[in-house]
Amino acid sequence: MKYRTIPGTDIRVSEVGFGVWSVATTWWGVRDQNTALRLLHQAFDAGVTFFDTADVYGTGKGESILAEAFPGKRDRLVIGTKFGYDIYSNPGERTGMSELPQKWTPEFIRFACEQSLKRLGTDYIDIYQLHNTRLTTLQQDSIFETLERLKDEGKIRAYGPALGPDIGWRNEGLYALENRRIHVMQVIYNLLEQWPSLDLFEPAERNHVGLIVRVPHASGLLDGTYNPEKHFDTSDHRNHRKHEWMGRGLKAVEKLRFLTEGTGRTLGQAAIQFALAQPSVVTVLPNFTSEANVAEFTAAPDVPPLTAEEQARIRKLWDEELRELLDQPYADSEKKPIPVAR
C-alpha cells in the first residue's frame, strides 16, 4: 500500500480506501455482519487506513460498524463521514437508493456531527463531507462558518463536498473549488465515466484540494462483478443503472483489454491506477464485497502503473470512441461558464 497527503493538511490516506457503504447497506449484496467485519479487517491488514462512510448508510450502521471493527485502533485510522440528510426526523422512510430530505442549518450540522462522533466512538472526525450537496447549499456561508468552528474546536480536521448522488454535478464541483476553502472533494471518475471530473482536476490541483474518487469500477463493469444475465433486485445499486448503458459499457470494456495484456495487472487494478494517475487524486474507493476483491484492489498501488503510452491510448479511445458510445459529454469548460460567488 502507498499513501498520499491531503493538500494543506497533515492527513495521510491510503491510496486505496474502503467505502463502508458496501458493507453497511444492502446496496452491494453484503448482508452478513460477520462478512462485513471480516472484509474491514482484511482491508486494514492490507494497509488500508482510510474508511469513508456516512451517517445515512444503514441509518448509522455505517459509522457504528467502524467502532465495532476497530476498538483501540483509532490513531491508526483516517475516518471520513458525511452529513446533510435528516435521518432523525424521518426514521425508516428511506427505501432502496431514494433520498431523504436534507437539512443544512448550523444547529443541525452540529447535532449531526455530535451524533456521528458518538456512533464512531471517537472525539474527532478526520474528513467531514457535505453529502450530495446542491449548488444553492454550497452558496450558504453559514454552513462553512459552522464547519470552520467545528474545525477550530477539534471535532473535525478537514471538510468538503461529496458530489452526487450520481455522475455529474460539474457546477457544484467548480463552485466549491473556486469559492470555498475546502480540503477535499469526492467525485465519480472511471475509465467509462470521465466527465465532469476532467473539468475538475486542474482547479482542484490549483486550489490545493485533494480529490476522493468513488465508483472507479463503473458499478462492476471494470472489475468483472457485473453479470448481464443476473437480475439485481431494487435494493442493489446496480439495479439503478440503465440496462442499455451497462450493455454499451461491456462493449467499451473490450476496447480496454490492452491494459491487462502482459502488464501484470488486472482490469480492476488498472481502473484504480487510472484514477491514481491524476495528481489531484489522493485516494480511490472501490467496492469491497468479497475477500478476493479486497486482495486484488488493495494490491493495485503496487502493480505497474499505467505508462504514458497507455494513458495516451486511453485518452484517444475516449475522444474518438468511448465518449460517444457511452453518451458522455466532452469536457469543454469554455462552453459551460463556471458559477461564481454571489
| Per-residue confidence (pLDDT) for residue 340, from 0 to 100 | 53
* Sign of CA pseudo-dihedral 88, 89, 91, 95: negative
Which residues are CB-contacts of 100 (< 8 A; sequence separation ≥ 6)? 56, 85, 86, 87, 90, 93, 94
User: 3-state DSSP call for residue 253?
Assistant: helix
- Please, what's the b/e burial string for 189-211 (b: 16 or more CB within 10 A of its CB; e: otherwise)? bbbbbbbbbbbbbebbbebebbb
Query: Do the strands 281-285 and 210-214 form a parallel or antiparallel pair, or are they unpaired?
Result: parallel
| Per-residue confidence (pLDDT) for residue 336, from 0 to 100 | 54
pTM of the complete model: 0.92
The one-character DSSP state at 321 is I
Q: Are 63 and 35 in contact (CB under 8 A)?
A: no
Domain locations in the chain? Answer: 3-335
The one-character DSSP state at 216 is T
pLDDT tens over the chain, length 342 residues: 999 999 999 999 999 999 999 898 876 656 688 999 999 999 999 999 999 999 999 999 999 999 999 999 999 999 999 999 999 996 654 555 567 899 999 999 999 999 999 999 999 999 999 999 999 999 999 999 999 999 999 999 999 999 999 999 999 999 999 999 999 999 999 999 999 999 999 999 999 999 999 999 998 999 988 777 664 554 455 555 677 888 999 999 999 999 999 999 999 999 999 999 999 999 999 999 999 999 999 999 999 999 999 999 999 999 999 999 998 876 544 445 555 553
Q: Which of 221, 303, 209, 217 is nearest to 254 (CA)?
A: 221
- Give the H/E segment covering residue 18: strand 18-19
Rounded distance, CA 205 to CA 236, Å? 34
Q: Which of 258, 283, 259 is nearest to 269 (CA)?
A: 259
Q: Position of cell 485516494? A: 283
- Give the H/E segment covering residue 65: helix 61-69
Cell numbers standing for residue 223: 472489475
| Per-residue confidence (pLDDT) for residue 335, from 0 to 100 | 46
Edge-to-edge, what's the strand order for the sheet holding 156-162? 18-19, 50-52, 78-83, 125-131, 156-162, 184-188, 210-214, 281-285
DSSP string of 218-241, one letter each residue: GGGTTTT---TTSPPPTTSGGGGS
Rounded distance, CA 280 to CA 297, Å? 20
Q: Are 94 and 58 in contact (CB under 8 A)?
A: no
Q: Position of cell 481502473? A: 271
- Kindly list the distances between the CA atom of residue 293 and the CA atoms of 1, 141, 190, in Å, as whole numbers in the listed order: 15, 41, 17
Query: Do the strands 3-5 and 12-14 form a parallel or antiparallel pair, or are they unpaired?
Result: antiparallel
Number of H helices, E strands in the chain: 13, 10
Which residues are CB-contacts of 336 (< 8 A; sequence separation ≥ 6)? 170, 171, 199
Rounded distance, CA 209 to CA 194, Å? 19
Question: 3-335 is classed in which CATH architecture?
Answer: Alpha-Beta Barrel (3.20)
